Structure formats: C-alpha cells, structure tokens
Structure 1
Amino acid sequence: MFNLCMFTGDATSKESSPFINSSTSDVEKSQQYDGKNMALFEEEMDTSPMVSSLLSSLANYSNLTQGSKEHEEAENNEEARKKTVQAPRMGTLMGVYLPCMQNILGVILFLRMTWLVGAGGVLGTFIIVFMCCSTTMLTAISMSAIATNGVVPAGGSYYMISRSLGPEFGGAVGICFYLGTTFAGAMYILGCIEILLIYIVPAAAIFKMEGLEGAEAEAALLNNMRVYGTIVLSFMALVVFVGVKYVNKLALVFLACVILSILAVYAGVIKTSFDPPFFPVCLLGNRTLVSKGFDICAKTIEQGNATVTTKLWRAFCDSEFLNATCDEYFTSNNVSQIQGIPGITSGILAVIYIFTIFQLFQLMKIIFLFGEGVNGNLVIGTLAWPSPWVIVFGSFFSTCGAGLQSLTGAPRLLQAIARDSIIPFLRVFGHGKANGEPTWALLLTACICETGILIASLDAVAPILSMFFLMCYMFVNLACALQTLLRTPNWRPRFKFYHWALSLLGMSLCLTLMFLCSWYYAIVAMVIASCIYKYIEFCGAEKEWGDGIRGISLSAARYALMRLEEGPPHTKNWRPQILVLMSLDGEQSVEQPRLLSLTSQLKAGKGLTIVGACVEGTYLNNQPQRIKAELLKLMEVEKVKGFSQVVISSNLRDATSHLIQAGGLGGLRHNTVLVSFPKNWKQAEEHHRCRNFIEVVRETTAAHLALLVTKNISAYPSNGERFTEGHIDVWWIVHDGGLLMLLPFLLRQHKVWRKCKIRIFTVAQMDDNSIQMKKDLMTFLYHLRFDAEVEVVEMHDSDISAYTYEKTLVMEQRSQILKEMHLTKNEREREVQLIQGKNATPTPTSPTSPTAPTPAAVTPGEEVQMTWTDETEKTNNPAVANPESVKDMFNMKPNQSNFRRMHHAQELNGVIVKKSKEAKLVLLNMPGPPKNRNGEENYMEFLEVLTEGLNRVLLVRGGGREVITIYS
C-alpha cells in the first residue's frame, strides 16, 4: 500500500526525464543533505526520497473524512482553519457497534417482525431470519477481511468493491448502494409516520379514516403518509444541511432511546414469565377476528330471559334477528376467546426459546397481524415493562435516528462516487460547501427520497432497498472470494477468520434472497446495475485501482498463454496477427498514420495487433515514452485495439530486426508484418530506408512470416470514408498460402470496403487451358465460401522491347555507381544524371510494345550539361576512381537475368494497369528478395515497375503455410 503515501517537502518530481535534472547546484545539494550521511545518494533525492520521510508520511497519513468535531471547529473557530485537521477516533463501540445496532433494531423489528411471525409461522420465520442473519454475518466476515487489507478511505462498501472489482463494478454497485441507502431513509421516515399516526396521535391524521373500510381506509392512510412524510423529510434534510454535528448529537439521544426500548422488552420477558399478560384473541373456528366493530366475542348473549345478537352477529348476517341469513362459515363454526400466546411473550421472542417451538407451531394459525387481534395495539409494546409507551416512543425515535443516518450517509457516498469521476454526469455532485459538506448530493438524495415517500407504502418501499443492499452485499462477498482465489500479492488482510467458501456461500445467499423476496425487483435492480456498468465501460473508465477483474484478466491471459502451443495454429484457427512497422520522420513523428487505418479495417480477423516503431539512438532518455504515447493516441483515433512497442538501437536496421524477432509473447506472436513501401527510395539520402526495407523482406521470409507492403499509402481511405462502388482486384500470380484471397474478405467486413466487389485475376501461360482454369478457380472459390468474379488473363510470349533493354541498362548502371564509387551526395546525383542524359534518346517501338512509355526521369531532348575543372575534380572528389572506370559504365551490357525480370515486370504491369487501373485496391503477389545482396537496388526497381500506374497497391507475400481451407 505504499502507493497511497503523499510526500511533502521541497523536492520536485522530474517527470520529463527518468534521470536527474541538475537544476539544483552542487552547493545547494551539499548544503541540503549536509550531515545526513547521504552523499552517495544525493543525486537521486529528487526522485527517491529518504526512508525517514517515507515512513513519516506513512505514519501521518490520514484518509478519513472530516467528522462532526472537525466541522464544528471549522464553522465556529476561525483559528481552527489554520490547524491541521486530525481524524476523529470514535472507536469500535461508538463508531461501529452502536450505529449498526440503531439500523438493525429499527422499523422492521418494531413494526414488521410480529407480522412476519403471524404470516409465516414460527418455523417459517425462524428459517427466514436465520437466512438473513447468516447473509449479514457472512458479508460481515468478508467485509472485515477487505477492511483490514489496508486503509479504506471514504466510501465504505463502495470503495471496497470498486478497488477490488474495478471501476465498472464499483460504479454500478456503488450507485445501487446509494439508491438503497436513500430508499432506506424513505422507509425509516414512513415507519416514523406510521408509528406517529397509528399508535401515538391518530387524531393528527389529515385524511380521516374513521368509518372507512378496505381500499378507502388504505388510501387515506397513504395520503397521510405522503403529507407528513414530506414534512419530516424536509426537516431532516434541513438538519443535515445545517451541519453533521447536530446529526451526531441527536444520534446519541435516539440510540439511547432504542437501547432503553430493547431493555424494556427483555424486562417484560422476565416479568411475563411470572405474571403472563392477558392476550384475549377472538376466534371464529380456527381464524382470528379483527377486534374492530364488536366488543363481545360471542354470537349471542343473554339479557334477562331473552337471547339477543351481538355486534359480531351483525357483521356476518344481514339483520340482527336470529332468523337472519348469515355467512355459511359463520354459522358452521363456533366463536371462542383464548389466550393469544400462553405462557410466553410473542412470536419474535419465541425464536429464542427453542423448546417451545412445537407448542407455538400448533398455534401458528392464530398469531395475529399488525396487532389487529389485540385492539390495534403495538404487539411488542404490549409485552414491554413498565409501560407500552416505552416501546412506542423508542421505536419512533429509532426510525427518526435511522432516517437521519441515511440522509447523512447517502450524500457522502454519492460524493465519493462523483469525486472518482467514473460517471461523468455525476461530477457536479462531488462539490459542496467549503467544509466539504455534500450540498448538491444532499439535494439529489432528498429528491430521490421524496420519490420513496410518495410511494407511501412501507411494504412497497422495503423490497426496493432490499434489492440494492443485497446486491451490494453480494459483490462484497464476490470481491473477498475473488481476491482470495487469485492470491494477489497485495491480499494480506489482518482479519484471518475468513475463507473463500464462506464468501461464495454469502454471495449465493444474497442472490437467493433477492429472487425469493421479489424476482421482478431483482431483475430490475440487475438491469439498472448492468446499464450503469456498460455506461462506465462506454465512457472509458480511466481509473486503474489494481482491481480483481484485471487480476482475473491477468490470470486468464497467463493460463491461455501457457496452454497456447508455441507451434503454428491449425489452418482453421489462423488469423492475421499483425505487426505494424511505423516509420518516423526526423522529428520522431509518425509518417504514415494511414497504416493504422488499414490495420483497423482488417480487424475482422480478430487477431493480435502490435504497432511498433524503431528509433536510432540510446534508451537512456524518455524518448520511447513519448513515441509510445503518440502511437497509443493514434491507435485510439483509428480505433485499433492492440499493443504498442518501441525499440531503440544504435542501428535502425538492428532495431527493426529485434522488433520482428522479439514481438509477442509465447504462442501469441505476430505472423504477419505490415510495412509501407519506402518513398523516394531512389534519392541518395533515402538509401538507408531502401536497405532497411529489403532487410525486412529478407527477415520475414526467413522467419516464415507473411508480409504486407502498401504502395501509395497516403492514397488509402481513412476509416471515415465510404466506397459506394468499385472493385477490389486480386492478382493471383503464384500461390503462397491463400492470404491473398483472405485479405479482401476481411476488408469487406469493414464499412469502408463493404460495397466493393471482389475480382480475382489469374495468369495463364501459352500451354495452359484458360477455360478449365476458370472453372477450377470458380469451384475452388465456391468451396472456400468466397463470393468473387473470376477472370483468367492470358500472357503470350513477346519480344523484348528496346525500351526494356534501355531501362534495364539504366538500372544496372545506376546500381553500379552507387556501389563502386565513393561519391558525395552531389557527385552521385551528377553521375546519375550524366548516365540518364546519355541514354535519353527517343524510345524505339516494337510490334509487341507499340506504346512503350518514356521513363519519368528522362525527357527526350533534355540533357544535363556540366563543366568540370581539374581543381574541382581534385578538391571535391579526392576519393573518386579513375575516370576510365566511369567511361566503362557507358559501355556495359545488362545482365540477362535482370533483362528477363524487367521484361516480365513490364508485361505484367501492362496487363494489370489495363484491367485494374480504376480499381479501389489492387492486391498482388510480391516477388521474393534476391539471394545475392548485389541486386538489392534492382529488386526495388522491379517492384517499382510492377506497380507503376496503379493508385493503391497492396503487395502480399505469404508465410509459406496454408491460411485458408475448404474444410469446416
């Protein structure tokens, strides 16, 4: 947890460089560390503080929010603002035990526990209470483990979940926890109003319920709850707004009332064991009767010598006479009055006295609801000693205190979420008053709480907050289990009495209770949490908290890499794992960002993408970080999902070789290299790019990697462009694995190329049956499930034109000059211009080449005229060879192999230009590099001639293995 500490002092972090920025003079440094015996490390003090300052910062670190004492000092004492705020030390009793007791012993205990016993019976109630208590106990164990695994700042459960499961889970569950706490405030306020209007001052009801029955009486009660609930909420919100110090002071008073009420109940238990109270319950058959509307538990009574009917008779019969028509159940059952719970207190306390469960189970059907069987009195209050009013007022103050606690805690939870900035539109709620009070969060909390009050029904609000709380508890258990199973090095809780199995059991219980309580509320809560999760994920949670989800990703990646075979995958599993080689300019900026556009358009392959850059220099500076940041930014702009890697070496060619060799990890390595064809490679200052490109071709060939070379990359479309029509032409000259046909299929999955059609051309020689070739190719594409047009192009043998002879001669002469003459830049250009000028004669034509083009570098009628003097010759070119060697170059004859290659390149280029000049993209096989390094410049010239006159060209060289198959 050392990353939490904050260092104080005059030292300034030098983020611009990983090394010491010598802005402080040696004299100042020597004075600063004089007498500390740190001279050996004084040069590192800017980035590495002394251990003493580190320990001091850790010891004095405080992450707790200000409490009531600090707020009071800030508001009432001007000098206190200048003092260092000390975190309050409330202790276990006042800070944990008593507040939890106030929430547990609240509205549910006083108002609904007896109802639960009456509705479900003692055994059913025991099972429900046992499950709920087990859930809270297991969650408390998990929370204790997380809370003791380092310091937990403001935010409570939200902080634990977010830092354990990540910002997405933390934000989703945190919002649900906030909503649960807010609706809990509404529930407590409704409970407070229910006690006030039913048990304390029923006459205060604005909407009178006397004389109303059924739905009308319930509607009147709900309207009273809404009116008084809004008034109480406004008062409580005002108290919280004025200052949390008043809430803490009132909390102690309310808590004392709760404790007194509980003691009164147990005192009543002791008393009733010697003097049981009289609980008269009127039964009709085996059903309890609501003790309203009648005063005598009998059908008839004797008055004098006459038998008369009672009010109970009139409730079930159509008249007061004995011959009246009555309800069948009323006439077939007897009316009796019994003791409600003989010899014991109530259903809630019966759970404690296990030995009476069987006896109470026999009387389960006569347990009453809401105290209706005892004249509407509070059941648990009837048992209290010395007076039932102790319980009435105790429960009233308990609900008030719990409501204030909810209105105090919920805004602070929302403020903690807002300050983490994981949900952008909630950032405004991270601000508040100068002392840190969450004013805006309190306003939103009050509005949401008012929504719960307008629902008005305590039984309708309780399941809502139960869903949110259970979801929070579920993820607390999940976080503990996850951290334990992952065995992360930072998982070292001081609380040792936990186990991952207990956490998983607690999580299962939470999920079970959610669906047992209300399956549709559970689904709604999960949908809300899922929407928040996806929203945070969509907005891009930039927080990195070392959470367990990323731990799962790391473990899963390690497991997958260990299982992934080092060898090549099966053909059905082959996909382009691309290493993109980005070239940099003199300012170390990316030259061809469109390479990333093409990479993004190939993402349908769902393979690995590594964007790499090679830099010539040393690693001892922060240049790699800047270049990597630029690559990541470009990847984000172009929507390329992958990794970036920067390699620095003293030699650019070695850096490229290292990147090709060392990219990837284990079996997850690149199998394809994407590079751009070097521009202006004929210029002398760009000659190193030419050599580096050829080395890339050689090394990918040696490593059995596929190679993609883009020509005219600046003309490639961006991700925002759309081709509404056009063709992607594939020139299948030789078969080297099928990558040439797989690439257009992948490109058409992207919206840029989706409306383009694929055409596949193949070349037939004189002795080939072009018709049969077309049929076979169509059959092959059918089995490959490729939809493409097919055309077979016939190339006939032709005579070598004079233009081909001349172009080959110029190529070899230029190559010879660059190799044998050690000239300066200007002199190399001068020699090349002389050769081109000498050969700049009108291009002859032949029957096979009627429209042979003139080389772009040579214009008929133009010659370069230069005058040399002996002084200039000796001064500027001391290392030049004998002038006779230059004259010999004018008399040299082209190599026959180069002659044939140049001829083939020109012939093939002519066919391609004729068929595919208007194509949106042309893919064709890339010739292999020369085995002899003496012909490297000639190889570049062949590629230039082959692609001349085409707009966008993608040269493809397979890796030597099949990448497509006809089998499923």
Structure 2
Amino acid sequence: MSVSISPKKNGSLGTFAGVFTPSILTILGIILFRRMGYVLGEAGLAKTLIIMCLANSISVLTSFSLAAIATNLKVKGGGDYYLISRTLGLEFGGAIGIVLFLAQSVSIAFYCIGFGEAISGMGIFADIAFLPQMIAATALLLLFVLAWTGADWATKFQYAVMAILVLALISFFIGGFQKWDTNLLWASRINETDNTGFWILFAIFFPAVTGFTQGVSMSGDLKDPGKSLPLGTFLAVALSVLIYLAVAVVYSASSPLATLASNYNIMKDTAQWGIFIDAGVISATLSSAMASFLGAPRILQSLARDKIFAFLNPFALGAGAFDNPRRGVLLSLCIALGTIAMGQLDLIAKVVSMFFLISYGLLNYATYFEAATQSPSFRPRFRWYHRNLSLAGFLICLGVMLAIDWKTGVAAVAILFAIYQYLKRTSGPSRWADSQRSYHLQQIRKNLLATQEDIEHPREWRPFILVLSGSSDHRLPLLWFASLVEGGSGLTTAVNMVVRQGIISVKAKDELTLQLQQDLLNFDSRAFGLFVSAPDVETGLDILIQSYGIGPVKANTILINWNEKSEKSEKNFRNMYFPDYKQQVQKALRDGCNVVFFDGRQIKELLEYPDQEDEIRIDVWWRGDDTSNLLLLLAYLVTRNEKWESASIRLLAVNYSSDSPENQDALSKRLDEIRINALPVIVTGVTSTIIKEKSKDAHLVFIPFIMKQKQPVCFTGDLFETILPDIKVAAMAMAAKTMQLDAEPEEGKVKELADLYDQLVHAEKRAQVAEKRALDLARAAAGIMESIDLTSHDNTEEIVKKINESIKIRKKAASAGEKAFREKAKLEQALKNATEQGVKTDRLPSGENNDS
C-alpha cells in the first residue's frame, strides 16, 4: 500500500495512517488467502512454523536496519533504493535500483494473478481457458488507468480495505474454531508424504512477509519519522506474525493436510461467511497491486533523476501536480503483462522472493556498513539497534537465496556485481555523499593503530615523499617523477611553502592553495596537496618535517627541483616569496629525511617519455653505501610503472679498485642478495666526464651527491652544472638513514626487542625462584619452632638441636630474601628498560608487569 503521493500535506501523517496501515495491508495479502493452506498442507505444521520463523527473522532483522537507517536521514523518493544508494554509493545504488524496480513491477503481476485466481475460483464465470490470466490482465489495465492518471485512492480507502480484512479474518477464525479438532491438530504436525522441498515452500511463502518496508516512502509525510517508522513497522510485523501463526494453527485443527494442499479456496470453505473471504482477497490483491504500481515507477524515476544510467534519463520526467512518472508506469505495465502471460503464481512467487531477498540483504548490509564506519554522522533516533543485527540479516538473506536455488542466487549476485563494476568504470562523479569515505577513514584509523603497535623494520620501508615547489612549471616534473618512484606503494604530498614578510592574507592562501590543487588536477596526480606559510624557510621546513603525517606514517624523502631558485610570488602577493630548498639540504638530512633532487627541464618531453619503441635503460651510480641502496631501490620502484616495466637497470659500481672477476662476482652476489635484477658494471677512475659518457644514452640516471661547502655536488666533487646538460633526465640523492635492502625478518629492532623480552622473562623467573626459596625456608624455620614443646623438660638436648637448626634455616632464609630483593630490583630495571624500548610487558608468561 505504500505510495509516494499523498493528498495530505508533508509532515501530517501519524504512525497508524502513514506506516502501520500500508505495511499490514501489504503483508496480509495473497499468500495469506491463497497459498498459506497449500504451504501448510505440503510441509505440515512443524515445518511451516520453521518456515514462518525463518522468514519473519528476515523481516524482523531488516526492520531493525530499516528503523536505524530511516531515522538517521530523511528518506526522499525511491524508498529502499534511496536508503541503499545514499549509504553504499552510486554503484550499489544503481544495481539495487534496477532490482527493486523489477521486483515491484513483477509484484504487480503477482497480485493481479492472485486476484484472477480468486475471481475464477468463485465460479462466477464459465470454465474458460486461461481465465485467471485474462482476469489478471483486465485488472492490470484498470489499475494502469488509475496509475496513469495519478489517482491516490489507496491512501483514501486504506481504512475500508483494513475493515474488510478484519471481517475476513473474524469470519475465518469463527468458522475454524467451530471445526476445531485437537486430534487433527496433533496429526497435522508432520506430513509423511513430504512431496515438495522445504526451500521451494519457503520461496512460495516468503512474499507473505514482504511489505514491511512500505512505510519508508512515506517518511517525508510523517509528523515524527523517528518515532513512527520503527513503531509502525514493528507493530505491523508483530501483528502479522501473530495472525499467520494463528491461521496456521486453526488450519491444522480444522482441515486435513491433504485438503489444505489441494484446495486453494480452503480459507473460504473454513470461514463462517465465505463472502468476506472473497472480499478480503479482492481488496488485498488489488490494493497491494496498486501499491506496487505506484511504487515501481517512482523507484525508476528516482533512479533516472540520479543520472546513473544514461538510457534511463527519459524516465525522470514527471507529469501533473504530483509529478506522476507516466513513462515508468508504462514500462511497469509492459513488465507486468509479460509476467502475467507466464500465468504461474508459484513460479512468480519464487522470482519475487529472490528479488526481495536481494533488496533486503543489501538494505541490511547498507545499514551494517554505515554503522561499521563509526561515523559521527550515524546518529539514528532509533536506539534499540546494534550493527550485528544488520550483519545477521544480511547473512541470512544471502544464505536463504543460495538455499532456495543456489544457481539463481549466484547468478543474481553475479548480475549485481557486473552492474556494480560497470557503474564503477563508467559513472561520472558522485552526486551525493555516501558512507564510502567514512568507511575509508575508519579503515585508516584501524590500520594506523595496528601499525603503531607493530615494530618498524627495514623491510617495510616505502617512500613517503614531500614534493617541495612553489611554481607550477617546476612542480609538474616533480609530480611526474614522484609518481614513478612511488612504485604503487608510497605516498606523495605536494607542498607549496611560502615565506611571508608580513601578515599573509586569507585571499593569498586560498588562491595559492587553489593553484596547487589545479596543478594536481591538470597532471592527474594522486598526490595530496598541502599549503604552508612560515616566517622563514628554516622554521617552515623544520615544522613541516616534524609535523607531517600521523602515527607511523612520516615523511622520509624530500623531493626538490634542481632548477628551481628562490622566487618572488605573483605581484598580488609582493610580501611573500618561494624559498630555494637547496640551502636546506643539511637540515632535512638532520631531521631524518632522504633528499632527492630531480633535473627535468623538458616537461613536455617528460610527459610522453620514454617512447614505447625505445629500449629503456636506467643507470644507477653505485658506491656501496646507504645512498646507493636508496638509489637502486628507487630505480626498481620505477620499473613497477606500466610504461617502465620493460626498463633494464644498469648498476655502475665505482667502489672497486679494479674490474676483476672476483669483484664482478662479489657485485653480482650483492645484487642477488638484494633481489633486484640489474646489469653490474664496474667503473674505475670515475670522473664527471666518464659519468657523462656512460650515461648520456640512459633514459633516467640516479647519481649520489655529497655536501661540499654546504652545497650539494656530484660524488666526484664536480658541480652538477657540468654534468646535467649532457644527461637526459637525472635524479641526485643522499640517504639520511641506514637503508637495508637485504634485511632478514629476524634482524633489526625486532631482534633487539625479542632479546630484551627474553632477558625480561629470565629476570622474572629468577626473581620468582629466589622469592619462593626465601618463603619456603622461612616457613620451614617457623615449622621447626612450632614443633618445640617448651613446657616439657624432657629431652632438652633435642629441643636445643631444633632451635639451632631453626636459626641456621632462618639465616639461609634471610640470605635468600636478600637475593630475591636483588633479583626483583633487576627485574624492575629490566621492566623499565623494556618499557622504554617499546616491549609490551603485559605479555609476560606470568601475566605480571612491574608490580611483580
């Protein structure tokens, strides 16, 4: 009965009219009147109760999800589709929107066929072939006329329909109790024949519990959605559960299972006044069909207005004062007519079940996803909610889908996944905020905390790069190079630092930040942008390096354009200038950051560089130190890039006195240990001229630099200005920390802390043993003294002997106590040292810490 059009003003409907009534009218539909007896007759009362419990567990769990998410945001047009798309994003929304539209459109035919069966079963017409389908098609066309004109009689007459359903149920229960047979009830527990499978019967019954989401589309018309949606939905679900249970019990006590399984008119035959059952069937089926006819086109209209699928855009158009989606109505008519042509209510029930299971499963997952992000914006007014309820609902829906028909279930999931992937690749920018970003932020928090607890190891090193530049022309080559040396594992932040000589204006900051963002956009860079202003470059760089990052993610590499010099900013900001970072190399190195200079003078050539037809070569000048390790690792990361994956690395080693076979073998062995494929070449007597001659044809050259009179120069001592003009593209670097390319998992700080932990364990054990020894001796001495009877004057020699023995033991106990005290002092010192080094003392075998 849910409709998105109401004659009342927004915010005027209460719980009963806006949520409870449309939901209960849809739940108490064709399955109750035409298929409940069949399911019971085939399954028996015990299995039927299990089917009902499982089906209603889905409705109850999904109601919790619905109550939570619907009270967390205002639901607009599209109902379930709106909730899922605004939570899981455009891709999931597009996929489920199509499924929901099809489910609602097929439901129109489902209810119309139920209406056709009811009318033909009354015997009013002669026995005509395909009579139920003909009646269903006629009813569908009449409903189409009402839906086309935008008639909203459903809300107006829902109370009349409710009254008819109440009379029908009263008539049934009166007739059922008159025919009550307790022995028959007991005999109906199990159907011995068991002709139809459990999951087939479940699929036939499941549409009975759908409809509890009908109040969602009325959210905007409710006075208090936070109260009405959960209250109305749960009341409708609870009442429907009681009614279905009562009907099942009365059926079992009034009619044999064989009769229930073969007679679709059994409710009419059981009732006191059969005419009320006929009226109930007609009212329930037509009202439910009309609700679907009004709901399906509006889902399609909402989907089209979100512009997810271009071919659906024409369906966004609405007509009249109520924005009636007539094009969607026409498409729903075509789908329903095709479904009616099938003419098999049970088969259609299975299809409807699969569609709704998919939508309910995703609704549950969307709510779980939203809650799992722990976003501060997730503040549902419905308080009786836990995210595990939604997860359970999702898993049950998925399991039931596969159990009903695993092939169809897998196919349905595959189709959804295919639509998702299609939209992920073809959809434009997101048109609304969903929970994806909240999820990613939560994962960042979770992973950062987990990383913080782990011990840093050289094997985990990856480049976290700060690109320092104040000019677009100089920044673009750096972004190109940073994207190469990231190797798919690092992070790059482009920093625009300006030195201000006066008070920087907000306008200046905004415009320079916008310029930085535009550079990143123009280059299609995945780098982050950061604007920094400082009174001087030394302070700015010091603060930047120390404060950049969060937790274990800290900057470890500075990337600077070799050709960039100190420049004044645009004339609008005459009080600022961009610094020359070459003068700050030593400060960056002292702060623990590797420094890399990049010489890329021809940006246009770089963007198309190298040519795919070229045999790409990367030269690395090697000195066998930490800087050389850094350069070789960066060269390897470059080869992870798709355009550079065929590049060969040539290692030009200058740290050998001769090109002997022994040295060649040692260099090759070193490369094997490092596990980087490179061609080893030993170069002796290296000069700037040799560097130019050897590397003039290389596409990319990595060269170590050293500091000479506070200026970076080539490792040969020559100025780079004499070398770089003869080299295509060069990167010059110096490592700030130890770079281990062959570190084993057991090495480094991990081993140090493990050894410290072992020492701590031993110290604890020694302290415990010493303390136990002292306590045992003290108890032994006390025991001897207690055994002496001082009131007896007999055997004085024995008493003296025991006293002397007690004294000796007490001395040993005192000595053991002193040892225990020393061991505990050592343990406390070991605990202090371990804590300072980051060892978790709560993991000691005894479970004790420095209170031991």
**Normalising by structure 2, what TM-score?**
0.71
Compared with structure 1, are the counterparts of its residues 612 and 731 closer, same or farther at alpha carbon in structure 2 (3 Å cutoff)?
A: same
1:241 deviates by 1.7
Deviation string, structure 1 residues 599-641 (Cα, Å, up to 9, x no partner): 3333434122222222344554144444444544544554533
Of Structure 1 and Structure 2, which has the larger fraction of its residues in helix?
A: 2
Is 1:517 the equivalent of 2:294? Answer: no
Is 1:917 the equivalent of 2:696? Answer: yes
- What amino acid sits opposite 1:918 in the alignment? D
Query: CA separation in 2, counterparts of 1:702 and 1:567?
Result: 25
Structure 1 counterpart of 2:672, from 782, 797, 804: 782
1:965 deviates by 1.6
Is 1:384 the equivalent of 2:322? Answer: no
1:921 deviates by 1.3
- What amino acid sits opposite 2:591 in the alignment? A
Structure 2 counterpart of 1:693, from 581, 585, 606: 581
Which residue is equivalent to 1:612?
Answer: 495
Compared with structure 1, are the counterparts of its residues 543 and 203 closer, same or farther at alpha carbon in structure 2 (3 Å cutoff)?
A: same
Deviation string, structure 1 residues 430-461 (Cα, Å, up to 9, x no partner): 33225322233334433444443344422222
CA contact (8 A) 1:672 1:707 kept: yes
- What amino acid sits opposite 1:694 in the alignment? K
Structure 1 counterpart of 2:443, from 556, 560, 565: 556
Which residue is equivalent to 1:705?
Answer: 593
Is 1:185 the equivalent of 2:108? Answer: yes
Query: CA separation in 2, counterparts of 1:451 and 1:599?
Result: 58
Is 1:773 the equivalent of 2:663? Answer: yes
Q: What SS class does the counterpart of residue 702 from structure 2 fall into?
A: strand
1:665 deviates by 1.4
Structure 2 counterpart of 1:144, from 50, 67, 81: 67
- What amino acid sits opposite 1:723 in the alignment? Q
- What amino acid sits opposite 1:745 in the alignment? Y
Which residue is equivalent to 1:661?
Answer: 546
Deviation string, structure 1 residues 849-868 (Cα, Å, up to 9, x no partner): xxxxxxxxxxxxxxxxxxxx
Percent same amino acid at aligned positions?
27
Query: CA separation in 1, counterparts of 2:577 and 2:38?
Result: 85
Query: CA separation in 2, counterparts of 1:634 and 1:608?
Result: 17
Is 1:746 the equivalent of 2:637? Answer: yes
Query: CA separation in 2, counterparts of 1:540 and 1:623?
Result: 35
Deviation string, structure 1 residues 340-387 (Cα, Å, up to 9, x no partner): xxxxxxxx98953898999899x65x354241xxxxx61111112223
Aligned length, in residue pairs: 680
Compared with structure 1, are the counterparts of its residues 776 and 132 closer, same or farther at alpha carbon in structure 2 (3 Å cutoff)?
A: same
Which residue is equivalent to 2:297?
Answer: 411
Is 1:262 the equivalent of 2:149? Answer: no
Compared with structure 1, are the counterparts of its residues 658 and 66 closer, same or farther at alpha carbon in structure 2 (3 Å cutoff)?
A: same
1:507 deviates by 3.3
Spell out the pairing of 1:482-881 with structure 2 (5 A cutoff): 488-539=375-426, 542-543=429-430, 547-565=434-452, 569-584=456-471, 589=472, 591-617=474-500, 620-636=505-521, 638-651=523-536, 654-679=539-564, 692-715=580-603, 717-718=606-607, 722-724=611-613, 725-737=615-627, 738-763=629-654, 767-795=657-685
Compared with structure 1, are the counterparts of its residues 557 and 451 closer, same or farther at alpha carbon in structure 2 (3 Å cutoff)?
A: farther
Is 1:100 the equivalent of 2:20? Answer: no
Deviation string, structure 1 residues 75-134 (Cα, Å, up to 9, x no partner): xxxxxxxxxxx4162322222222112211112112211111122111101110122123
Query: CA separation in 1, counterparts of 2:397 and 2:642?
Result: 45
Spell out the pairing of 1:911-950 with structure 2 (5 A cutoff): 911-928=690-707, 930-931=709-710, 942-950=719-727
Q: Structure 1 regions of 5+ residues with no counterpart?
A: 1-63, 71-85, 209-220, 289-347, 372-376, 796-906
1:711 deviates by 0.7
CA contact (8 A) 2:707 2:713 kept: no
Which residue is equivalent to 1:30?
Answer: none
Is 1:352 the equivalent of 2:242? Answer: no
CA contact (8 A) 2:180 2:253 kept: no
Which residue is equivalent to 2:364?
Answer: 477
Query: CA separation in 2, counterparts of 1:65 and 1:360?
Result: 38
**Normalising by structure 1, what TM-score?**
0.63
Q: What SS class does the counterpart of residue 405 from structure 1 fall into?
A: helix
Structure 1 counterpart of 2:37, from 109, 114, 135: 114
Which residue is equivalent to 2:765?
Answer: none
- What amino acid sits opposite 1:701 in the alignment? L
CA contact (8 A) 2:62 2:390 kept: yes
Deviation string, structure 1 residues 229-284 (Cα, Å, up to 9, x no partner): 5554444233212114245446555555434433332332344459999xxx9xxx
Q: What SS class does the counterpart of residue 429 from structure 1 fall into?
A: helix
Compared with structure 1, are the counterparts of its residues 786 and 142 closer, same or farther at alpha carbon in structure 2 (3 Å cutoff)?
A: closer
Compared with structure 1, are the counterparts of its residues 719 and 455 closer, same or farther at alpha carbon in structure 2 (3 Å cutoff)?
A: farther
Q: What SS class does the counterpart of residue 525 from structure 2 fall into?
A: coil
Query: CA separation in 1, counterparts of 2:609 and 2:95?
Result: 33
CA contact (8 A) 2:121 2:265 kept: no
CA contact (8 A) 2:148 2:326 kept: yes
CA contact (8 A) 2:496 2:532 kept: yes
Query: CA separation in 2, counterparts of 1:613 and 1:657?
Result: 15
Q: What SS class does the counterpart of residue 77 from structure 2 fall into?
A: coil
CA contact (8 A) 1:429 1:438 kept: yes
Q: What SS class does the counterpart of residue 369 from structure 1 fall into?
A: helix
Compared with structure 1, are the counterparts of its residues 154 and 923 closer, same or farther at alpha carbon in structure 2 (3 Å cutoff)?
A: same
CA contact (8 A) 1:250 1:401 kept: no
1:911 deviates by 1.0
Query: CA separation in 2, counterparts of 1:730 and 1:689?
Result: 35
Which residue is equivalent to 2:226?
Answer: none
Which residue is equivalent to 1:461?
Answer: 348
Query: CA separation in 1, counterparts of 2:581 and 2:511?
Result: 25
CA contact (8 A) 1:601 1:747 kept: yes
Compared with structure 1, are the counterparts of its residues 696 and 200 closer, same or farther at alpha carbon in structure 2 (3 Å cutoff)?
A: farther
After TM superposition, the structure 1 stretch with the greater mean CA deviation from structure 2, 458-467 or 621-630, is: 621-630
1:181 deviates by 2.1
Q: What SS class does the counterpart of residue 7 from structure 2 fall into?
A: helix
Query: CA separation in 2, counterparts of 1:759 and 1:135?
Result: 63
Compared with structure 1, are the counterparts of its residues 775 and 139 closer, same or farther at alpha carbon in structure 2 (3 Å cutoff)?
A: same
Which residue is equivalent to 1:951?
Answer: 728
Query: CA separation in 2, counterparts of 1:519 and 1:481?
Result: 24
Is 1:398 the equivalent of 2:284? Answer: yes
Query: CA separation in 2, counterparts of 1:447 and 1:625?
Result: 55
1:143 deviates by 2.0
1:421 deviates by 4.3
Which residue is equivalent to 1:323?
Answer: none
Is 1:960 the equivalent of 2:737? Answer: yes
Larger Rg: 1
- What amino acid sits opposite 1:615 in the alignment? V
Compared with structure 1, are the counterparts of its residues 567 and 138 closer, same or farther at alpha carbon in structure 2 (3 Å cutoff)?
A: closer
- What amino acid sits opposite 1:598 in the alignment? F
1:65 deviates by 10
Query: CA separation in 2, counterparts of 1:944 and 1:723?
Result: 30
Structure 2 counterpart of 1:432, from 318, 327, 340: 318
- What amino acid sits opposite 1:465 in the alignment? V
Structure 2 counterpart of 1:238, from 110, 130, 145: 145
Spell out the pairing of 1:64-83 with structure 2 (5 A cutoff): 67-69=5-7
Compared with structure 1, are the counterparts of its residues 937 and 690 closer, same or farther at alpha carbon in structure 2 (3 Å cutoff)?
A: farther
1:691 deviates by 6.7
Query: CA separation in 1, counterparts of 2:134 and 2:509?
Result: 66
